[in-house]
Structure 1
């Protein structure tokens, strides 16, 4: 499905948030990758060829061509693979086996179980569901605010989620927060309602690698 002159092939979607989470990690670590944008409307994520890569039929999935074409899917599992294998200097992660490592895992699990599914359901019922169900929309918008409140409770006391530095724990929340702030919440005042989280979010977006991914994301979405 893709050539691999670069170390990684990243199967992703032009506007879906989870693939861009992985792109951020790759860019932060200076790892070369070739993105392959699947057309979900055409069902390319359910094609037999892709299901051999990811039997769950979702994006992202990553192939590491320098590790015997090892394939890993689920965005936070991909993230964990990348930092455990390639972030030897702990630039954007903490050392395995330490207490902070499990704090980092805690936030990655919370993002995968607490942020992604609820924000995703908010997107479904707000944008894609054929009929408007106000109670469902309200439920999931309230869950977005609850998750932001969890982040706020920590970030009001410390600059980053773990390790006194920006790590993959922080990065993992960015793309869904962007969708929530710009698409899913009405009359949302991020800086007023969640000031510490808004400040943290802004600092992350100013990182050169993340700013570069954000530009690429905007270009891909335009197509």
Structure 2
């Protein structure tokens, strides 16, 4: 089967993790086709997708130039992309010790930022009931995560390696949401860091794509 693009990306119009993968593909200059699964129709749980991703969530990639190599879980995808397609380490690190620090931040993003930020938004905007105790819990966790980032970014420009890497880029799509406090006031170093990432060509392109598909 011939593919015009190197990657197929199964994703969601609003889901931050899919946009995170798309941003790294843009950073690396890779060609890809995004397939936006309709969650309301259950397309993410349908056999056409679960044959690639048994977890039935997004994102999922297929690398057609690597024997249709298939991978899911967004931060695992980021690591695959830089290990295979970033030999010059433009957005990754080469030093063995720094690689573990990069991995440390990716684990923190996946286990700390993603779940709590997602639940914070759900409890405020989408839950069938307004539960102040749940909102308070998740908003406090959002602030805790920003506090961790702030403690490091107030002392250095980037999370690892003295340059922007996938460690930094993995956080940004989740920070586009409002959590009921002013980021620049409470966490100024984190706000500056996020703003610098959003000025990158890849981030600007992804934002335009995001706005376009969600306006349709």
1:215 to 185, 208, 214: 208
> Which runs of 5 or more residues in structure 1 are unaligned?
none
Corresponding residue for residue 195 of structure 1 = 188
Distance 1:47 1:191, change over 3 A: same
Alpha-carbon offset, residue 4 of structure 1: 2.7
1:135 to 133, 136, 139: 133
Corresponding residue for residue 16 of structure 2 = 17
* SS of corresponding position for 2:70: strand
> Which runs of 5 or more residues in structure 2 are unaligned?
none
Q: Work out whether 1:107 is the aligned partner of 2:100.
A: no
Deviations 1:76-97 (A, max 9, x none): 00000000010000000012x6
Q: Which moved more, 1:97-106 or 1:162-171?
A: 97-106
* SS of corresponding position for 1:94: coil
Alpha-carbon RMSD: 1.2
User: Matched residues in 2 for 1:9 and 1:152: separation?
Assistant: 35
Alpha-carbon offset, residue 3 of structure 1: 7.6
**What TM-score results when the alignment is normalised by the length of structure 2?**
0.97
User: Matched residues in 1 for 2:118 and 2:29: separation?
Assistant: 29
User: Matched residues in 2 for 1:194 and 1:221: separation?
Assistant: 29
Q: Contact between 1:4 and 1:34, CA under 8 Å: does it hold in 2?
A: no
Corresponding residue for residue 167 of structure 1 = 165
Counterparts of 1:52-201 in structure 2, within 5 Å, are 52-95=51-94, 98-179=96-177, 182=178, 185-186=179-180, 188-201=181-194
Deviations 1:27-76 (A, max 9, x none): 00000000000011111001011110110000000000000001000000
Distance 1:162 1:190, change over 3 A: same
* SS of corresponding position for 1:131: coil
User: Matched residues in 2 for 1:178 and 1:94: separation?
Assistant: 26
Q: Contact between 1:151 and 1:197, CA under 8 Å: does it hold in 2?
A: yes
**What TM-score results when the alignment is normalised by the length of structure 1?**
0.94
Q: Contact between 1:15 and 1:221, CA under 8 Å: does it hold in 2?
A: yes
Q: Contact between 1:104 and 1:169, CA under 8 Å: does it hold in 2?
A: yes
Show structure 1 runs of 4+ deviating over 3 A: none
* SS of corresponding position for 1:63: strand
User: Matched residues in 2 for 1:130 and 1:47: separation?
Assistant: 26
Q: Which moved more, 1:210-219 or 1:109-118?
A: 210-219
* SS of corresponding position for 1:31: coil
User: Matched residues in 2 for 1:207 and 1:176: separation?
Assistant: 16
